[in-house]
Structures are given as structure tokens and as C-alpha cells.
């Protein structure tokens, strides 16, 4: 099992994870549109953004996006924002989510981040217990405005 | 009144706003350490991060940090994350916060962002009413893990 930045060849597998709500989506069924290509290129070319994939026996079984944010607080240290956390439907319940998050947190620590932050939909109470069990404090409310 | 990226010369004024809890902090009293300098340089050199200042008659009266995050959702559009929103203590209650946020949202829209997001400490119920009045939905819980 390894956590590393996604390659371009893994983009369909990542998009399949993002599309997957309840069951496994076949990466071969994913149409990689030009806007996905552009977004992936933007992320890959940005030293403060990465799509990380959890790979087990050459299979992408989980992913997340990490954004490292420079700021004036915390002695100038970066903070890591984690979004789009996914584990493939047929691999849930076996501790892979914990593996994915623990490794991403460790990666942020090694980079020198002072903090890891994320938001989770208020309805996802199971996810909240999961993040609390990893040591995260549910200290904030998350607000969104669609443009 | 104008909203624009902070200049290096305005860094003490921005740090004074960030240090200000209840009363105005004199920018002249701020020691700009090397770590602040480094963080400001990192933000200034990053096309997806900016410290925005609200300037009234050459005075910095408010600030925030905006981070524009590329992602694979929303048709590849960026999302804007807003942090460190401050209005100078002696200028609160006069609608400047609304001005600051409305302009920052407009700036994100012009850039092509699909969403603006932020988190606010759960104890700051007044801030929550303020963000709700700007159209933000309090849909998420915000989690933080100090490293």
C-alpha cells in the first residue's frame, strides 16, 4: 500500500472514485473531458496542490486532494486543507480510510505544516466520528456560497 | 474604498489587524519577523493566494486571505477559500465587513470560481448570522488537527 501523487494515467480511476457514491464505478466508463484534463494539469503544475492516491497492488483504492496554504499565522507555517476524500466502495470498512488520512497527515507534517483542516457535510455523522477518532477537533462551522 | 492585494509596505498593518482582538493595534508596534516576511513573499509569489486589503483613505481597515483551489469537481472550476477575515476594531459595525466580503466574492466570481467557502469558529454565532445574511449556507462542520 502506498500513498503518492496521482499520475495522468490514473485520472480516470480518480474520477471514478469521485463519481462513486454507493458502488464501484468502472474507470473505463469515465469520459475524461477537456475540463478535467485542464484541472488535472493545473493541480499537477501547482507546488501547493496535489491529488494523492492510495494504491494497493497497482489499483487506486482511495484518493484525496491536499492544498498547502501559506499564511501569516502559525509562525508563517503552511496549513494543509484536505478535500475530496474517497475510498472505493468495495474496499470500505477495512481501515483504508484511516490509512489514507493518517498518511496524508504524516505527509503534511513532514512538509512542515502546522495544521490539517477539512470540512465534512453536517449530515455525514459517521464521517465526523471517523475524523474525531483521528484526533481532529470539530471546532468550526463550514459555510459555502455557490457562484 | 478599494479592495486590492496588500503591498509589502502594508504588511505591518495587516499583522496589526490579525493581532487585534478587541482594540486597534498600532502597526508601528508590530515586529515584522523573518518568518512573516517569508510567508508574505510566498503568498505574493503564488498566483492562487492573495492577502486582500480594504483600504479607506490610504488606511488599511480590513483584510482577508483568499486561496483559489483548482479541483476536479465543478467542471474543473476553481473554488475560493477565504480565511483570516478582519475589520479594524474602531471601524466595526458600519458595514465594512459586508463590503469586504461582497467584494471578495465578486473578485472570486470574476476569476471564474464556482464556489466560495470559509469556516468560522462554532462559538462565533454573530459571524454565522453575518455569513448567512451574505447567502452562505452553513452546510458543513469544520475539523482541525494541530500538528
DSSP H helices in A92-144: 96-111, 125-133
CA atoms within 13 A on the CB side of A81: 26
Contacts of A120 (CB under 8 A, 6+ apart): A127, A128, A131, A142, B140, B141, B143
B81 contacts A71? CB cut-off 8 A: no
B38 touches chain A (CB under 8 A): yes
B39 touches chain A (CB under 8 A): yes
CA distances in angstroms from B4 to A70, A85, B50, B76, B102, listed in the order given = 18, 34, 9, 26, 13
ipTM of the shown complex: 0.95
Percent with pLDDT over 90 in chain B: 95
* All domains in chain A, ordered by first residue: 2-133 (3.40.630.30)
Residues of A in contact with B141 (CB under 8 A): 119-120, 122, 128, 138, 140-142
The model's pTM: 0.96
pLDDT at A74: 80
Residues within 8 A of B (CB atoms), A 60-89 only: 65, 67, 69-73, 75-76, 81, 83-84
Percent with pLDDT over 90 in chain A: 95
User: What average pLDDT does range B47-51 have in this prediction?
Assistant: 98
pLDDT at A144: 98
DSSP state of B72: S
Contact status, residue B100 vs residue B64, Cβ threshold 8 Å = yes
Which tens digits make up the pLDDT trace of B6-43? 999 999 999 999 998 789 999 999 999 999 999 999 99
A106 touches chain B (CB under 8 A): no
Amino acid at each position: 500500500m502506498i500513498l503518492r501523487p496521482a499520475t495522468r494515467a490514473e485520472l480516470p480511476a480518480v474520477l471514478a472514485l469521485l463519481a462513486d457514491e454507493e458502488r464501484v464505478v468502472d474507470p473505463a466508463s469515465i469520459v475524461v473531458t477537456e475540463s478535467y484534463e485542464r484541472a488535472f494539469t493545473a493541480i499537477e503544475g501547482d507546488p501547493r496542490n496535489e491529488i494523492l492516491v492510495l494504491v494497493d497492488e497497482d489499483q487506486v483504492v482511495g484518493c484525496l486532494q491536499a492544498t498547502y496554504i501559506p499564511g501569516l499565522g502559525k509562525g508563517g507555517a503552511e496549513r494543509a486543507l484536505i478535500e475530496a476524500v474517497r475510498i472505493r466502495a468495495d474496499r470500505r470498512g477495512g481501515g483504508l480510510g484511516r490509512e489514507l488520512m493518517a498518511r496524508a497527515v504524516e505527509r503534511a507534517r513532514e512538509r512542515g505544516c502546522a495544521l490539517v483542516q477539512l470540512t465534512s457535510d453536517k449530515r455525514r455523522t459517521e464521517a465526523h466520528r471517523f475524523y474525531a477518532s483521528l484526533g481532529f477537533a470539530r471546532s468550526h462551522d463550514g459555510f459555502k456560497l455557490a457562484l
